[in-house]
Structure 1
Amino acid sequence: MKKLNNYIGGDFINPFSDNYIENINPATGEVFSLVADSDENDINLAVEAAKAAFPKWSSADANFRSKWLLKLANYIENNLEKFAQAETKDNGKPISLSRSIDIPRAIQNLSFFATAILHDKEEAFHTSENVLNYTLRQPLGVVGCISPWNLPLYLFTWKIAPALASGNCVIAKPSELTPYTAYLLSEACQAINFPDGVLNIIHGYGHRAGASIVAHPDIKAISFTGGTQTGKTIASVAAPMFKKLSLELGGKNATIIFADSDLEDAVHTAVRAAFTNQGQICLCGSRILIEDSIYEEFKAKFVEKVKTLKLGDPTDKNTDQGATVSKVHQDKVLSYIELAKQEGGQLLTGGQKVDSEKLPERCKNGFFIEPTVIENLPAYCRTNQEEIFGAVTTLIPFENENEAIEFANSTPYGLSASVWTQNLSKAHRVAAKLETGIVWINSWLLRDLRTPFGGTKQSGVGREGGYEALHFFTEEKNVCVKF
């Protein structure tokens, strides 16, 4: 069985412990590879490799770093199907999603930051007293990037690309649940002779390998995407060490449907927003707020549309809904469905594991959940306040604009929201009052990589994307010259 070893200093290296974690295909329940179970010894080795590579990489001009990142992007593009198949096998998502979203976006991440560094600028201020102030942005050194399991290569590259482009050397850890495409990326680095030690990929558990990255004194910044509780733990360790922190955490996002919206478009997109990637995207619209006067009409159309989603083998190009990422996560999502029933919720569709008899033979032991829609729950109940991160959404009626805003802002989270109305003034007014980092108007998940990405409240600290990300991975220095 294939072993996914660490990539350190340009070489593949067994973990110090010589222990491995079973990597399970969520669609079949079968172990298909073994993942290095790393600890602080592996992190120490990676940090030394990164420190050795840093002087040359950080002092190289932007064109040099840009060319290497573009080479990496081109390698993935030339092997897109291989990466897409690996992503689907590892994560359980439909192959159509891996081919059209996950892997193309990983390519775009590398390409975008590779070219962005060629157009960055530094500020200068000249006064009448013959004084010039200018700003230098210099790389931090060795940085840590820890990415989640829901969009494995997509979010892995979203972190490492700006860090590398800015001149840092990186210790990166993918989720132990979905390490395969990060491992393929390390193979890509070796295939193109990417400079040794610049990118080091360490596998293992968060509480061991991830915690060692966060605590290492020579790692100057941490960029993390994942759960809010883990983010709190990271902050408690990194903040007293005065490390730079970028935390992209949980979400409980609202989709707000006003009576004057384009109802057909709103229904179609709300289904996508709720159930894309089995609802396992931090930006998914897991609460749908609907104006009273169109509630019944929207509900009927929405549920009808959800029932048409094809659930099954992720390798089938016609599959809409694949497998939940793991048995543990499947159990968590199912527990929230039971909680919703206890809180008085009424199931409109879904609500249970998929009967194995309805699945292809190879998927009978997979972790599948029916897309679930629930109504009759109060806005402030646990089901509507806590992040479920699965194929579950709730329908909540509202009377007026102020109540919609109140309900949308009621959770501890503040990542994103989408607003559906044809009244432009209302759209701007509501967007300004929503306590989120991102608001989509009559759309969902349209991402321009130049724009800042991140949330408020317990959805995180800092912003990623565009120059926000590049500048996070640098230290600003003001130089004042009198001449």
Structure 2
Amino acid sequence: MTNESTEFYGHLIDGKETEAQDGRRFPSVDPWRRTAWAEAAEGGREDADRAVAAARQAFDTGEWPRMGHTARGRILHRLADLVERNAGELAAADSRDMGRPVAQARAKDVPRAAANFRFFADHARLTAAEQLPADNGTHVYTRYEPAGVVAAIAPWNLPLMLESWKVAPALAHGNTVVLKPAEQSPASATVLARLALEAGVPPGVFNVLHGHGPAAAGEFLVSHPGVDRITFTGESATGRAIARAAADHLTPLSLELGGKAANLVFADCDLDRAVSWSVAAAYTNAGQVCLAGSRIYVERAVYDAFLERFTAAADALRFGDPAEAGTDIGPLASAEHHAKVRGFLDRLDGGPQGRLLTGGLDPRDPRVVRPAVVVDAAAEAAVLQQEIFGPVAVVTPFDTEQQAVAQANATPYGLNAMVFTEDLRRAHRTAAALRGGTVWVNCYFVRDLRAPFGGVGASGIGREGGVHSREFFTEPKAVVMDIAGTLGPEATGAAR
């Protein structure tokens, strides 16, 4: 039975918030209180068809793709203003859905979401296209035309921020969008779409489809022949399934998948800063970050000192109610995810699978996984090879730079890495040698939205950000004009 106070978040299709076609709903469970706080429309095939049809109509006949960058940019800046103005509602939605401390969501996620809309609105307008010199009387230039209907599938770990990372560039370049948020975190997507309508985004341009993945809304969306682009962030197994579905229609896709980031701490680093950044990299958002620096390799000369400081800092993190301002780490996002993380901790055997030094499961509270530090794990141990997506860090000593790089590269993943050193030459050498889409040196998760973002191997396909987003969300078109009027058919196929 539905509690009368339960919030409802519907699909938002063609400018209207609606129930599912068959009336089905599913609950969103507050992971701290372990009760349903909201319900969302549960999408099926008909709902996916409706959402794609609305986006298709808006693209094929509507004004949005035909607006200039300046006009679209004004609307997206208004949307950014509204995101900032409604920071409390957006932050609370993500916090209630998946346990993110509300103060962190408000201070970090909401401003970043607004910044995404502002950046891509301006980048689309200001970035130059190619104009290629020609000496045969021709004028050659490139047009970047909107690709069409974009299916954007966002994860549950940082919902609003990652929704905006996909929606903002797609809209800025004139596309229409069907956003499917994760079923664990439906609320902020609907709120964002409501604000988009208020900002002046035309009906049908930004649609939200709620529901589950396999044999449900997600599968029906990514396999839909009316979709022109698919952008997905989530686990690698789901990314493979989406790639298989996209192959039937040769739909271009961008996949930002799992990670198992290595963090190399050299003896010449600023140890206090290395510890501080390493704690942030391992435990931010309870470790539920694809970029989490969960594998920490420390040069043996400073291993003991690092481990002592790192463990003390992990133990000092404040765990509790995500609604309270002083909370550093909230609960894991769902009971299912808690069971997954618990499975990794249960495998620790004091031998090759590793030994728990501090933290881990709290027998007094089944919601809790305290920041865990694991040591003595063999290279093939599950905690070093598989993405845990929880507050579990493994600290391992190394003796040489070559050994550290080899250990760092010894997983199927390649999303990102970190290096802490004061040796400039070493910083450049290791950044070049590490396998990944991003390497942070003496910092973590510092973003420049112009830079490419994505991974290699099991961490994904493609890059987004800056001109890379333009390449993905548009169809680049070469235009060749005979300005001089001197070319004849004999010039056909000639290359300069």
Global fold match (TM > 0.5): yes
The CA deviation at 1:467 is: 1.7
How many residue pairs are counted as aligned between the two chains? 474
The CA deviation at 1:148 is: 0.2
The CA deviation at 1:344 is: 4.0
Distance of 2:199 and 2:122 partners within structure 1: 19
Q: Quick check: 1:25–1:89 contact (8 Å CA) kept in 2?
A: yes
Deviations 1:228-254 (A, max 9, x none): 000001111112321111000000001
1:251 aligns with 2:259: yes
Spell out structure 1 runs of 4+ moving beyond 4 A. Answer: none
Structure 2 unaligned blocks of 5 or more: 1-5, 484-496
Distance of 1:278 and 1:120 partners within structure 2: 37
Q: Quick check: 1:285–1:393 contact (8 Å CA) kept in 2?
A: yes
Aligned to 1:361: none
Q: Structure 2 residue aligned with 1:40, among 20, 35, 45?
A: 45
Distance of 2:133 and 2:372 partners within structure 1: 61
Distance of 1:189 and 1:124 partners within structure 2: 34
1:471 aligns with 2:471: yes
SS of 2:188's partner is helix
SS of 1:18's partner is coil
Q: Quick check: 1:380–1:410 contact (8 Å CA) kept in 2?
A: no
Identity of aligned residues (%): 40
The CA deviation at 1:84 is: 1.4
SS of 2:17's partner is strand
Q: Quick check: 2:10–2:40 contact (8 Å CA) kept in 1?
A: yes
* Equivalent position amino acid for 1:112 in 2: F
SS of 1:370's partner is strand
Deviations 1:165-209 (A, max 9, x none): 111110110111011111111221343343100000010002211
User: What is the CA RMSD across the aligned residues, in angstroms?
Assistant: 1.2
Aligned to 1:402: 402
The CA deviation at 1:338 is: 1.2
1:88 aligns with 2:95: yes
SS of 2:404's partner is helix
Aligned to 2:346: 338
Distance of 1:464 and 1:368 partners within structure 2: 35
1:26 aligns with 2:35: no
Return the TM-score normalized by structure 1.
0.96
SS of 1:479's partner is strand
Distance of 1:149 and 1:85 partners within structure 2: 14
Q: Quick check: 1:124–1:135 contact (8 Å CA) kept in 2?
A: yes
Aligned to 2:377: 377
1:147 aligns with 2:154: yes
Structure 1 unaligned blocks of 5 or more: 357-365
Aligned to 1:272: 280
Q: Quick check: 1:83–1:103 contact (8 Å CA) kept in 2?
A: yes
* Equivalent position amino acid for 1:15 in 2: A
* Equivalent position amino acid for 2:463 in 1: R
Aligned to 1:229: 237
User: Once structures 1 and 2 are overlaid, which stretch shifts more, 157-166 or 114-123?
Assistant: 114-123
Distance of 1:354 and 1:319 partners within structure 2: 20
Aligned to 1:460: 460
SS of 2:361's partner is coil
Q: Quick check: 2:210–2:217 contact (8 Å CA) kept in 1?
A: yes
SS of 1:325's partner is coil
* Equivalent position amino acid for 1:353 in 2: D
The CA deviation at 1:354 is: 5.8
Return the TM-score normalized by structure 2.
0.94
Aligned to 1:362: none
* Equivalent position amino acid for 1:319 in 2: T
Deviations 1:244-294 (A, max 9, x none): 110000000011000111011101110111000000011110100011111
* Equivalent position amino acid for 1:46 in 2: A
* Equivalent position amino acid for 1:50 in 2: A
Q: Structure 2 residue aligned with 1:307, among 301, 304, 315?
A: 315
* Equivalent position amino acid for 1:186 in 2: A
Aligned to 2:289: 281
Aligned to 2:357: 348
